[in-house]
């Protein structure tokens, strides 16, 4: 099974927003295996580990939840969790 890491810049600012959105992400997509938001980062980075490249779905979901979002990067992981190659980046 393939594993992907998807990175997004977001407008998620609080612990409550983070908890609410991550909980809903797990509910709406069985492909998402792990999600976190770095509230200490100036870009409030959302990092998702998923079995699918579903960045469009995640972006639309966050927009519908009222948050700004920008897809930044995605890479595939090997069995040991190491990145195989960066496949997309945009600022």
Two structure tokens written together for 37: 């938001």
Average pLDDT over residues 35-50: 96
Radius of gyration in angstroms for the set of CA atoms belonging to the chain, rounded to a whole number: 12
pLDDT band at 77 (very low <50, low <70, confident <90, very high): confident
The fold of the 3-77 domain, in CATH, is Alpha-Beta Plaits (3.30.70)
Burial 20-34 (b: 16+ CB within 10 A, else e): ebbeebeeebebbee
One DSSP character per residue, 57-89 reads HHHHHHHHTT--EEEEEEEEE-TTS-EEEEEEE
Model confidence over 4-37: pLDDT tens digits?
A: 999 999 999 999 999 999 999 999 999 999 999 9
Distances (CA, A) of 16 to 6, 11, 13, 75, 77: 22, 13, 9, 28, 30
The structural domains of the chain, with segments of one domain joined by +, span 3-77
């Amino acid at each position: 099974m393939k594993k992907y890491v998807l990175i997004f810049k977001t407008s998620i600012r609080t612990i409550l927003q983070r908890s609410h959105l991550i909980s809903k992400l797990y509910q709406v997509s069985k492909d998402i295996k792990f999600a976190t938001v770095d509230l200490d980062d100036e870009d409030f980075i959302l990092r998702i580990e998923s079995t699918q490249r579903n960045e469009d779905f995640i972006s639309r979901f966050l927009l519908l939840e009222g948050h700004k979002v920008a897809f930044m990067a995605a890479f595939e992981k090997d069995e040991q969790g190491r990145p195989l190659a960066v496949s997309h980046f945009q600022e």
